[in-house]
Structure 1
Amino acid sequence: MTEIQVGHAAAGPAAVGRPPDWPEVPAIELEGVRKDFVSRGEVVRAVKGISLSIAEGEFFSLLGPSGCGKTTTMRMIAGFEEPTSGTIRLHGMDVTDVPPNRRDVNMVFQSYALFPHMNVWENVAFGLKRKKVPEPEIRRRVGEMLEIVGLTGRERSRPRELSGGQQQRVALARALVNRPRALLLDEPLGALDLKLRQQMQLELKRIQREVGITFVYVTHDQSEALTMSDRIAVMNDGAVEQLADPREIYERPATAFVASFIGTSNLLSGQISAISGDVATVRLGDRGRVLLNGGGHRLGESVQITVRPEKIRILQGEPEGDVSAVPGVVSEVVYLGTYNSYAVTLDGGAEVTVFEQNAHDSTSTAERGDSVWLSWQPHHSYAIGS
């Protein structure tokens, strides 16, 4: 995880040239930011007019597949890429044309790039010594930061003597000891194995809360973003498809892309055949029905609906009452330890995934080839955009 110190300005309101009694402004603002590259004589639009605001002290993630523009967006915030158009503000100051070394942010990458001939203490203290911070202040700040990242007692260790997770903590401490007002992290956990990566997700969030500065985190890993973020911007093809907190994005995806990219989701299409109050009925085939909460629909309207696999129950008979009810045939059953995954083929040929916890009161004993009914509550159906 390589750390690059981008700016050296002191923390606090005076660093951005505004009186301390001004209302708090966002830590980072992007307004209509666009980035074009020229490839083989053709203009490629990597970022398509993004506008967003990141609050002071927020853990904010840019999430999306490779090539969606998330790293380019972060590099523009850091100053390593210049926007083709638009405005970037850091703590209220327009920094669109300000060079990287005058922006009060640090950037951390996936590779650690620690100095192999220096021990942990010397690596963390390196930036402070270059800025000629007094020695007593260096000792105090490095000691505090090593305690925060859980490396007290390893001050004299060389990088080769540390695990990958410990090396990452050193790189993080080296970035944070300079007291940037925002820390930009580009896929910092990608080099770690799964178990260590999951542990470090929780550690990063703990550290961010403890130091209280703004983190902007780039990842393609949905579980990382859901675990750590206060808010997530889901990016696709250079644009933000949805910006919300993790629960909103998971439970109420705004588009088909978000629904399919975040976790596992079932997408069903049909026409509204009846409306009663704020509940619409969507007909699926000859026998299936999906109940959909929310107003604003009209009879005959074609809709696309998402429902998460863990919200669905598998029943042997047709369910009664005000619930969704869709018939199908179990085409696959996969045991995954804490839960079973069922693939159910509907009458019209669509396939639905169902997750069922392996608890003592599990309701389903369905096996491959069984005819079943799928059921879920109306508030678990959600109509999405294209």
Structure 2
Amino acid sequence: MTSTPPGAPADGAGPAIEFAGVEKTYHARGETVAAVRGLDLEIARGEFFSLLGPSGCGKTTTLRLAGGFEEPTAGEVFLDGASVTGVPASRRDVNTVFQSYALFPHMNVFDNVAFGLRRRGVPKGEVKARVGGMLDLVDLAGRERRRPAELSGGQQQRVALARALVNRPRALLLDEPLAALDLKLRQAMQVELKRIQREVGITFVYVTHDQGEALSMSDRVAVMDEGRVEQLGTPREVYERPATRFVAGFIGTSNLLGGEIAEAGPGTAVISYGPDGRIEVPVGGAAEGGKLELTVRPEKIGIGRDRPADGLCRIRGTVTEVVYLGTSTNYTVATAAGKDVVVFSQNVTSGEDVAARGDVVWLSWDPRHSYALGEPR
């Protein structure tokens, strides 16, 4: 099976999961706490969709609303076009993989995966075939008789995944399933999860606070904060073109700059930034004297001692920190306008650093990499 292109329903059908005006509030210590606010969201069939954000942003509550572990205070949740508001989790055609895996310690791998099928009365021969096929898919063939305690963390995660997928749900909900793994294993499992999702072709809804996970695996990402979706888009869109200051700061490293508009033209604005500094920003509706906030990613910025060519954005400053990271060197530069700017410079040669602490340098980048946060004001 193949997955649906990002954001597009399969065969003209509606979304796999839809939230329509969903609110979720809790009452604690005499206060009303809003976990999810005015959520309108569609998740396409066959899509690998991630809910990304810091702790307490509402992403896990959103997942639990889809799975039936929570009920909305207002609004409706739909699965395949049918409202499931009020329908218990056991009667929703979705399965959930939790961070803890929740495997049965007294059962071996085969019996853990077969548990749901046996409860549904699936014939013995079909159980054997389906479990065997699923263990092949998650690369656990030959380990059928092992207990969970005899498996590595990554293998336990695969058992939990196989147990959920063997029931052939319409959607799989994953609540930070890799959080307990070490970095190297987590990165390997990210590749495996995406491969498995592509092969089975069902909708995956993935909750994480790890931006790297979301960017590397997802077709689309919803970045959440304080119960709201701040931005919805492909990984490239939310990284390259953050919609808000929060998204710019949360996704990767971003330099937040701004100032008064010195020049304005059709679709562009120019900010004077300290002595000899000039930042051009593609933006509409700019007027001289207005204020504008923008972001530029550290890897888009060049650093050197010579004045940049005309047509590039440029800022002058003094290097305050140099951090060697193997593949790149990170520079922190205090600019004449009083703002620190971070630069990631790829180590393409084995020579010396481009600059040292205390050096006066020029920073430059293509104006296309200046991205305005909101409209000029």
* TM-score bracket for the superposition, by shorter chain length: over 0.9
Q: Secondary structure at the match of 1:249?
A: helix
The one of 68, 74, 97 equivalent to 2:86 is 97
How many pairs are equivalent? 366
The answer for the alignment partner of 2:163 in structure 1 is 174
Distance apart, 1:332 and its partner CA: 0.3
Structure 2 CA distance for aligned equivalents of residues 254 and 155 of structure 1: 48
Amino acid at match of 2:59: K
AA paired with 2:238? I
Which deviations, in whole Å up to 9, do the C-alpha atoms of 1:282-318 show, x marking residues without a partner?
1112321111124332222211110000000001022
Question: Which deviates more from structure 2 when the two are superposed, residues 325-334 or residues 40-49?
Answer: 40-49
The aligned runs of 1:186-225 (5 Å cut-off) are 186-225=175-214
> Among residues 207, 213, 226, which one is paired with 1:237 in the alignment?
226
Whole-Å Cα distance in 1 between the matches of residues 327 and 339 of structure 2? 26
Residue 161 (structure 1) aligned with residue 150 (structure 2): yes
Partner-residue secondary structure (3-state), 1:168: helix
> Separation in 1 of the partners of 2:315 and 2:371?
16
How far, CA to CA, are the matches of 1:302 and 1:277 in structure 2?
Answer: 17
* 1:33 maps to amino acid: V
Equivalent in 327, 330, 336 of residue 325 of structure 2: 336
Q: Find out whether 1:312 has 2:306 as its counterpart.
A: no
- Displacement of 1:158: 1.7
Per-residue deviation, residues 139-195 of structure 1 (Å, max 9, x unmatched):
111111011101111112221221110010001000000111001000100000000
Which structure 1 residue ranges, 5 or more long, are not aligned? 1-20
Unaligned runs of 5+ in 2: 1-9
Runs of 4+ in 1 over 4 A off after TM superposition: 361-364
1:349 aligns with 2:338: yes
CA distance in 2, matches of 1:316, 1:91: 59
Partner in structure 2 of residue 247 of structure 1: 236
User: Contact 1:106/1:182 (CA < 8 Å) preserved in 2?
Assistant: yes
Partner of 1:69: 58
Q: C-alpha separation between the residues in 1 aligned to 2:337 and 2:355?
A: 20
What's the Cα RMSD here?
A: 1.6
Is the partner of 1:126 in helix, strand or coil? helix
CA distance, structure 2, for counterparts of residue 145 and residue 236 of structure 1 = 36
Residues 1:280 and 2:269 are matched in the alignment:
yes
1:46 aligns with 2:46: no
Q: Give the TM-score normalised by the residue count of structure 2.
A: 0.94
Aligned: 1:183 with 2:172: yes
Deviations 1:195-239 (A, max 9, x none): 000000110000001000000000000000001000000000110
Match of 1:8 in 2: none
User: Does the CA-based 8 Å contact 1:146-1:152 persist in structure 2?
Assistant: yes
In 2, distance between residues paired with 1:25 and 1:89?
A: 10
1:364 and 1:51 map into 2 onto residues whose CA distance is 49
- The CA deviation at 1:361 is 8.2
Aligned partner (choices 110, 122, 132) of residue 143 of structure 1: 132
Mapped partners of 2:159, 2:118: distance in 1: 16
In structure 2, distance between residues paired with 1:23 and 1:335: 51
* Percentage of pairs with the same residue: 64
Q: Supply the AA of the counterpart residue of 1:164.
A: G
Q: Structure 1 residues 343 and 145, CA, compared in 2 at 3 Å: closer, same or farther?
A: same
Q: Secondary structure at the match of 1:367?
A: coil
Residue by residue over 1:80-117, the C-alpha shift from the partner in whole angstroms, topping out at 9 and shown as x without a partner, is 11111011100000111212111110111001222222
TM-score with structure 1 length normalisation? 0.92
* Superposition pairs of residues 292-303 of structure 1, within 5 angstroms: 292-303=281-292
